[in-house]
Chain A
């Protein structure tokens, strides 16, 4: 039980280039560019996705900082020379319309270009086949195609911004999106979402088939790391929900071009029907965003606390449970627009989500109990996740109850809630995951101390930015306005200062990772003592992932009985090396 087949034996009778890292240079600059642009290696595609989504994150983040700047002070409306209303105090935006365009840009870019592809397409592409012991994903060419589809979709979104932007909000509600004066931009943006949906579907299909057909010999369903379970559940949602978004934005596009009347009341359509269509995708999409983060947290907590995960099957099945429930709760986004019977049903169903989510949080907490917690950056982010996600999840219960939501609907309370889940959950898990797998992906260690400083600033800045917004929301501050009553100014300014601290935290992370990339210490194959298969290959992995097809002989979380592969003896003490206690 305790002997592990580690992939350290090296190539037997292979050429030397089989030993080279996956990103080894193939020739001159153009040869290398061509090699990356046409690669079907899941690792390179994962890295390409990583850079693409980080660029999107920077764009969306810049828009967010500008929005927060505008909210530093309320605007005032005064009578102009001829008695017309003149708005003063708009800065950095020139008008309310520009402000609307900026928050739409922030929302659309963060949702469709960053969060949805972030963990599955970037980290998942790189890590999932390695975790399964596979040579590649099931359909490598489709995988590359999905990256190009993502880029094309992003170009449409950017075209929409360059043409002047969209002010509908990221939800493109009709009739805002069908009476917009500039149809062209709305069409470009909705087409972008349509195209990006395909990218998401292709990634999901690829992962489902990979998990079914390419597991290493000896790896049963319950021997898979929990990250794989989470990505699997995510992929199910991607495949089953994204097509409905596709038809929604396609109909919206056709509606703008050919004036058909399905959503537009001017032509006999029903705008609330649009909301059903949209949220049928976009609520499950919330779990496309958070489930991969939960998968990462399962890995981080188990590995960095050196503890067998508590309740493996419960954590695994709760991912599938969340995926299933996600399809029957979308109406809680529409409590003020739909009928009261549906509202009551959806409100009741919404509370079901709390069960699998709570199972996960309790199991993670129980895993930490009496573990040997190493306060590395990944572990710090796992703890931050637990704290922030709990707040985000529990405030979700307020919003899920019909009567409270009537008062909190469309206030900053909602904004704070979903930022606590999306950013406090997914982005924190993403950052933790990047630091956890960074040595594996690029073969370099990062500066732990500075990375922890960055994590601390992100934590402080995040709470300053968004906890204030809970208070603002309960006091009645509506979302999506460029101005507010004077009483709210102190809280808004606190929130804006928080956004700066948050920005500084991210810049520190960027500097730490860039320093590591260009001059970091060489990473050992298994710096954290992990037991899943990605730690059995070199850091960075060789082109074909493993010299020999790995054979699974232990559970990925048997930290108390198994000596981690490719580590110095005694570096990661094993509680019960003989396995006699079991």
Chain B
């Protein structure tokens, strides 16, 4: 519960010389406005994903048995759990990074941002190599292209392609957001190394951090709903 000193002074880094855009009255107004804008954008992200959740709940209500069997058979909850942990840790990194920016600790800031982006890459690698690619090879793809014939005593039900539709579109859209987040983390990490962020100016760290948290937050809901249907 510390408050930062208003100026650390002396280092001459770019963040100390930051001047707001001309239509703002001061840096603080600009920062708060950027953050409010970011929250509005995050609201639109949540609403976008709410479409998947709505489709999920409605279709699960219609076909509960198919959803239970399909979730258990096609998805491996261990993979989902590992990815959940990876995203939670990366969220912690980003929170630490924002704190480092507020305190003017450049290296801690940059290291945490890069580590978070590595977590994002790990998430995507796991997703692709252990889920998407094997699934495509076996024909466990959504809707009309579904061609998995069953095996190990499992006979796909008529609505397995529907479950896989929801799974694919929601996780792929989420994966796209992770990819965008990784690129953004690289961008702010690179700028952090150049000394763009410090106690008086860290708008981009704050907003990219918020975006990364929302990506994590959406996965927190996707994981139990898709992987852990009892």
Interface string of B189-217 (1 = CB under 8 A from A): 00000000000000000000000000000
**What is the CA–CA distance of A273 and B61 in the complex, to the nearest angstrom?**
12
| CB-based contact A258/B62 at 8 Å | no
Shortest CB–CB separation between residue B18 and chain A, in angstroms?
17
- Whether A214 is near chain B, meaning CB under 8 Å from some CB there, is yes
| CB-based contact B47/A213 at 8 Å | no
Knowing that A213-B29, A214-B23, A261-B165 are A-B contacts, what are 6 other residue pairs whose CB atoms are under 8 Å apart, sorted by A's residue number?
A208-B36, A209-B36, A213-B36, A244-B50, A244-B51, A251-B169
Looking at A89-97, A133-141, A219-227, the stretch in contact with chain B turns out to be: A133-141
Q: Which of B22, B44, B45, B62 interacts with A270 by CB under 8 Å?
A: B62
**What is the CA–CA distance of A262 and B54 in the complex, to the nearest angstrom?**
11
Shortest CB–CB separation between residue B205 and chain A, in angstroms?
18
| CB-based contact A251/B55 at 8 Å | yes
- Whether A246 is near chain B, meaning CB under 8 Å from some CB there, is yes
- Whether A86 is near chain B, meaning CB under 8 Å from some CB there, is no
With most chain A CB atoms within 10 A of its CB, the pick from B22, B44, B158 is B44
| CB-based contact A248/B51 at 8 Å | yes
Q: Which of B43, B144, B158, B166 interacts with A262 by CB under 8 Å?
A: B166
| CB-based contact B143/A243 at 8 Å | no
Interface string of B29-73 (1 = CB under 8 A from A): 100111011001101110111111011001100110000000000
Q: Number of contact residues on B: which range applies?
A: 35 or more
Interface string of A123-161 (1 = CB under 8 A from B): 000000000001110111010000000000000000000
Total number of A-B contacts with CB less than 8 angstroms? 124
**What is the CA–CA distance of A254 and B164 in the complex, to the nearest angstrom?**
13
Shortest CB–CB separation between residue A278 and chain B, in angstroms?
11
**What is the CA–CA distance of A296 and B36 in the complex, to the nearest angstrom?**
27
- Whether B221 is near chain A, meaning CB under 8 Å from some CB there, is no
Chain B residues with CB under 8 A of A246: 44, 48
User: With A209-B36, A261-B144, A277-B54 given, is the CB distance from A135 to B23 under 8 Å?
Assistant: yes
Q: Can you name 9 A-B residue pairings with CB atoms under 8 Å?
A: A140-B23, A205-B37, A240-B47, A244-B47, A251-B51, A258-B143, A260-B165, A262-B162, A277-B54
Closest to A255 in B: B143
Q: Which of B44, B50, B145 interacts with A239 by CB under 8 Å?
A: B44
- Whether B142 is near chain A, meaning CB under 8 Å from some CB there, is yes
Chain B interface, DSSP helix/strand/loop, else mixed: helix
Chain A residues with CB under 8 A of B48: 243-244, 246-247
- Whether B161 is near chain A, meaning CB under 8 Å from some CB there, is yes
Interface string of A532-569 (1 = CB under 8 A from B): 00000000000000000000000000000000000000
The 10 A-B pairs at the shortest CB distance, nearest first, are namely A259-B144, A247-B51, A243-B47, A135-B23, A260-B165, A260-B143, A268-B162, A136-B23, A261-B143, A267-B143
**What is the CA–CA distance of A255 and B55 in the complex, to the nearest angstrom?**
13
**What is the CA–CA distance of A262 and B165 in the complex, to the nearest angstrom?**
7
- Whether B168 is near chain A, meaning CB under 8 Å from some CB there, is yes
- Whether B115 is near chain A, meaning CB under 8 Å from some CB there, is no
- Whether B186 is near chain A, meaning CB under 8 Å from some CB there, is no
Chain A residues with CB under 8 A of B50: 243-244, 247
Chain A residues with CB under 8 A of B29: 213
- Whether B159 is near chain A, meaning CB under 8 Å from some CB there, is yes
User: With A205-B40, A208-B40 given, is the CB distance from A247 to B52 under 8 Å?
Assistant: yes
Chain B residues with CB under 8 A of A262: 55, 59, 162, 165-166, 169
| CB-based contact B144/A267 at 8 Å | yes
**What is the CA–CA distance of A214 and B24 in the complex, to the nearest angstrom?**
8
| CB-based contact B33/A213 at 8 Å | yes
User: With A213-B29, A261-B162 given, is the CB distance from A134 to B23 under 8 Å?
Assistant: yes
| CB-based contact A243/B45 at 8 Å | yes
B153-177 contacts to A, CB under 8 A, are 158-159, 161-162, 165-166, 168-169, 173
| CB-based contact A212/B36 at 8 Å | yes
Chain A residues with CB under 8 A of B52: 247
Chain A residues with CB under 8 A of B33: 138-139, 209, 212-214
Q: How many residues of A contact B (CB 8 A)?
A: 43
Chain B residues with CB under 8 A of A261: 142-144, 161-162, 165
User: With A201-B44, A243-B44 given, is the CB distance from A213 to B32 under 8 Å?
Assistant: yes
Shortest CB–CB separation between residue B26 and chain A, in angstroms?
11
Closest to A266 in B: B144
| CB-based contact A258/B54 at 8 Å | no
**What is the CA–CA distance of A441 and B164 in the complex, to the nearest angstrom?**
54
User: With A239-B44, A254-B169, A267-B143 given, is the CB distance from A277 to B51 under 8 Å?
Assistant: yes
| CB-based contact A209/B142 at 8 Å | no
Shortest CB–CB separation between residue A323 and chain B, in angstroms?
14
User: With A248-B51, A277-B51 given, is the CB distance from A268 to B159 under 8 Å?
Assistant: yes
Shortest CB–CB separation between residue A299 and chain B, in angstroms?
24
**What is the CA–CA distance of A241 and B48 in the complex, to the nearest angstrom?**
9
Chain A residues with CB under 8 A of B40: 204-205, 208-209, 239
Closest to A138 in B: B33
**What is the CA–CA distance of A313 and B109 in the complex, to the nearest angstrom?**
48
Shortest CB–CB separation between residue B136 and chain A, in angstroms?
12
**What is the CA–CA distance of A449 and B21 in the complex, to the nearest angstrom?**
45
Chain A residues with CB under 8 A of B49: 247
Chain A residues with CB under 8 A of B37: 138-139, 142, 205-206, 209
- Whether A264 is near chain B, meaning CB under 8 Å from some CB there, is yes
- Whether A168 is near chain B, meaning CB under 8 Å from some CB there, is no
Closest to A261 in B: B143
**What is the CA–CA distance of A208 and B34 in the complex, to the nearest angstrom?**
12
**What is the CA–CA distance of A266 and B146 in the complex, to the nearest angstrom?**
13
| CB-based contact A205/B143 at 8 Å | no
Chain B residues with CB under 8 A of A269: 59, 162, 165
**What is the CA–CA distance of A134 and B21 in the complex, to the nearest angstrom?**
13
- Whether A242 is near chain B, meaning CB under 8 Å from some CB there, is yes
**What is the CA–CA distance of A142 and B34 in the complex, to the nearest angstrom?**
11
**What is the CA–CA distance of A277 and B54 in the complex, to the nearest angstrom?**
9
A241-291 contacts to B, CB under 8 A, are 241-244, 246-248, 250-251, 254-255, 258-262, 264, 266-270, 273, 276-277
Closest to B49 in A: A247
**What is the CA–CA distance of A212 and B23 in the complex, to the nearest angstrom?**
14
Chain B residues with CB under 8 A of A208: 36, 40
| CB-based contact B23/A259 at 8 Å | no
Chain A residues with CB under 8 A of B36: 208-209, 212-213
| CB-based contact B54/A240 at 8 Å | no
Q: Which of A209, A212, A244, A270 interacts with B58 by CB under 8 Å?
A: A270
Shortest CB–CB separation between residue A212 and chain B, in angstroms?
6
| CB-based contact A267/B165 at 8 Å | yes
**What is the CA–CA distance of A243 and B144 in the complex, to the nearest angstrom?**
26
Chain B residues with CB under 8 A of A273: 54-55, 58-59
Q: Which of A135, A139, A140, A258 interacts with B142 by CB under 8 Å?
A: A258
User: With A251-B55, A261-B143, A261-B161 given, is the CB distance from A242 to B44 under 8 Å?
Assistant: yes
Shortest CB–CB separation between residue B182 and chain A, in angstroms?
21
Chain B residues with CB under 8 A of A242: 44
With most chain B CB atoms within 10 A of its CB, the pick from A246, A262, A276 is A262
Shortest CB–CB separation between residue B49 and chain A, in angstroms?
8
| CB-based contact B143/A264 at 8 Å | yes
Chain A residues with CB under 8 A of B58: 270, 273
